[in-house]
Chains A and B, each alone.
Chain A
């Protein structure tokens, strides 16, 4: 049973209808094969671009659709339900456009944004380094101003779309002034001196690529600096507040997909002469899964509606990320349980869903960091 949505208007209903059609016909049928083969879904991202889905929450002036987060996130959820790597990729791409869309000059936005939002370019977001994960301010990739260029050296780690992206929204150190010494550069993937290391060998999201991105004296034009020097960490953390809502939506989509598989299987699997869905032990498991999915969805939608109204939403976004990703882990694990031995095999998708769920508790701020954010907000109030 697909998610039952209460959408704000007919435009949103029409959009979700298009997204479901693309998800059902173009994404879901290829997901298992690509993930098994570790094959990056580049063409699928191009299709999203042609369908106008790569810049939804940004201004129409630069190729976006001025869409609310409330609706955009439900698009992400539907795509993640069909194919998690593509849903996560859409969320990461959208986050990668945020710094320029929000803080770029009109000249920069006119020049770069239309292809990022309305074309089929794919973005990456380069903040983490091997020693600077949760402690992002410890990053050390160095950018030195040299006339009209920055010379960038250092290694970014855990970069979704590393080696596949067309641009990297990259946080670099421009001074030794701790968190205030970080700046944001929009780096073209074709920049000489920029290379991607071989992709990480991951537990899940094997169709998506995650790699270190190495800057070795890469020369980046200074007009690709977003905002002023020193603004980078603030932009990065602001982008993450919205980005983690995207991850919450992906987690809900994944959990919904696992629930749908579990219900379908339990209805047709018969033991002791009746469908296992009629045993209360399974009924309660499924009911708890549905409760987890729908409460997680309500949580991210609440945060999104606050964001859309210009209200503070940092606490709510962290709560949504924490609740939705923990729900995804639990629901996908229980889906494997419902399918029993079949669920543990790669002939059914739920073991993949379970592997994919794990990383949602880790990336874009571990769930421990989410608790830090939530607690900080509580102490402030």
Chain B
């Protein structure tokens, strides 16, 4: 009956135009529609699959501004049991290390955690480092980039996907797992799930509630800041090759010219 905490993050919808604010280069959260990050839907799905097979409880944990409640509700409507939401203006501009410290403290507020599941990287910040830092702070083993998770008693087995191949990892619970795109297909909430989510408990905490001094978090004391940002240059037009029966040869010539073959 594993007690699972799933980390979720509200991010700007990847379909909308995403921007950093002009003043401090932090995320301009008003410029785009905010959604539950897709990889987090997979993390929630994995937690729910484990719960459906073995019982236990699924707690959603999010660090983010007040409107992140929408992302939390989405996770609850999928079937998670309750949520912890750390929301504090002092957190604005926090780096990954500060954020991970806050998450670690918040995980400590949940009783008897056996497993923390996160997405392997968010679509906004893309540091991809939070699960590993969190595991270090909690003193838990880290099993990152999972495409398969199996729990047997107090043992967790994970298949990790890398460019070179598959790595099989095994550790004792409690542990931190981060999941990749191939882990599962997340479910849609049902209408009943949406209605039920409105009644599920969401505990809202400030950094002070976690015993953290507000001066330790936020842009002013961040270990890293964004100093400059520029939009990606538009893609240059490609080179068109007319196929007059010799299209294949011409493509091969081009690739040879680029030293690609």
Contacts and interface: CB of A to CB of B under 8 A. Distances in A.
A359 B127 CA distance: 54
Closest 9 CB pairs of A and B: A52-B190, A52-B191, A51-B190, A52-B192, A14-B194, A51-B188, A15-B191, A65-B191, A22-B188
B122 to A, nearest CB: 20
B195 interface: yes
Contacts of B190: 50-52
Contacts of B194: 11, 14-15, 18
22 contacts: A15-B191, A18-B188, A18-B189, A18-B191, A18-B194, A21-B188, A22-B188, A26-B188, A47-B188, A50-B187, A50-B188, A50-B190, A51-B188, A51-B190, A51-B191, A52-B190, A52-B192, A52-B193, A53-B191, A56-B191, A65-B191, A65-B195
Interface of B: 187-195
Nearest to B191: A52
The winner among A11, A52, A53, A56 for most chain B CB atoms within 10 A is A52
B189 A11 contact: no
The winner among B187, B189, B191, B194 for most chain A CB atoms within 10 A is B191
Nearest to A47: B188
A52 B77 CA distance: 12
A238 B192 CA distance: 28
A47 B193 CA distance: 14
Main secondary structure of the interface of B (DSSP, over half): helix
Contacts of B195: 11, 65
Nearest to A21: B188
A118 to B, nearest CB: 8
Contacts of B192: 52, 65
Interface in A6-61: 11, 14-15, 18, 21-22, 26, 47, 50-53, 56
Interface of A: 11, 14-15, 18, 21-22, 26, 47, 50-53, 56, 65
Nearest to A17: B194
A26 B185 CA distance: 13
B209 to A, nearest CB: 28
Contacts of A22: 188
A63 to B, nearest CB: 9
A52 B187 CA distance: 13
Nearest to A25: B188
A298 to B, nearest CB: 25
A192 B191 CA distance: 36
Contacts of A56: 191
Contacts of B189: 18, 51
A293 to B, nearest CB: 25
A55 to B, nearest CB: 10
Nearest to B187: A50
A22 B194 CA distance: 14
A46 B29 CA distance: 36
Contacts of B187: 50
Contacts of B193: 52
Contacts of A50: 187-188, 190
A21 B188 CA distance: 9
Contacts of A26: 188
Given A18-B188, A51-B188, 17 more contacts: A14-B194, A15-B194, A18-B191, A18-B194, A21-B188, A26-B188, A50-B187, A50-B188, A50-B190, A51-B189, A51-B190, A51-B191, A52-B192, A52-B193, A53-B191, A56-B191, A65-B192
Contacts of A52: 190-193
B229 to A, nearest CB: 30
A15 B193 CA distance: 10
Contacts of A51: 188-191
A52 B189 CA distance: 9
A17 to B, nearest CB: 9
A139 B188 CA distance: 43
Contacts of A15: 191, 194
Contacts of B191: 15, 18, 51-53, 56, 65
Nearest to A14: B194
B237 to A, nearest CB: 19
Nearest to B35: A21
A65 B193 CA distance: 11
Nearest to A15: B191
A26 B191 CA distance: 16
B198 to A, nearest CB: 8
Nearest to A60: B192
A47 to B, nearest CB: 7
The winner among A18, A22, A65 for most chain B CB atoms within 10 A is A18
A50 B78 CA distance: 12
Nearest to B193: A52
A11 B190 CA distance: 12
The winner among A26, A51, A65 for most chain B CB atoms within 10 A is A51
A51 B190 CA distance: 4
B168 to A, nearest CB: 32
B101 to A, nearest CB: 34
A306 B190 CA distance: 28
A66 to B, nearest CB: 10
A14 B188 CA distance: 13
B193 to A, nearest CB: 8
Contacts of B188: 18, 21-22, 26, 47, 50-51
B22 to A, nearest CB: 30
B186 to A, nearest CB: 11
A47 B191 CA distance: 12
A274 to B, nearest CB: 25
Contacts of A65: 191-192, 195
Nearest to A56: B191
A51 B189 CA distance: 6
A11 B197 CA distance: 11
B69 to A, nearest CB: 13
A56 B194 CA distance: 14
